[in-house]
């Protein structure tokens, strides 16, 4: 049982960012630090290659 510390609100923000990156970014890697939309915690977005 792996304990994942990412809060649900942060997970939603990460998933939304990944969707935006997948749909609109053409240059990789994408390295961003974005605040969670709800709790404002800084989230590290790291996408090293274009996702499937």
Write down the least CB distance from residue 6 to Zn ion, Å: 8
Binding part of the chain for Zn ion, among 20-28, 31-39, 44-52 by CB under 5 A, reads 31-39
The CA distance from 42 to 33, in Å, is 6
Q: Tokens for 14?
A: 């990460």
Q: Is 42 left (phi over 0), alpha (psi -120 to 50) or beta?
A: beta
Q: Is 9 in the site for Zn ion (CB under 5 A)?
A: yes
One of 14, 17, 36, 45 touching Zn ion (CB under 5 A) = 36
One of 19, 35, 39, 50 touching Zn ion (CB under 5 A) = 39
């Amino acid at each position: 049982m792996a304990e994942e510390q990412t809060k649900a609100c942060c997970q939603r923000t990460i998933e939304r960012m990944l969707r935006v990156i997948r749909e609109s970014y053409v240059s990789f890697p994408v390295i961003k630090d974005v605040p969670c939309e709800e709790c404002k915690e800084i989230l590290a977005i790291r996408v090293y290659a274009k996702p499937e």
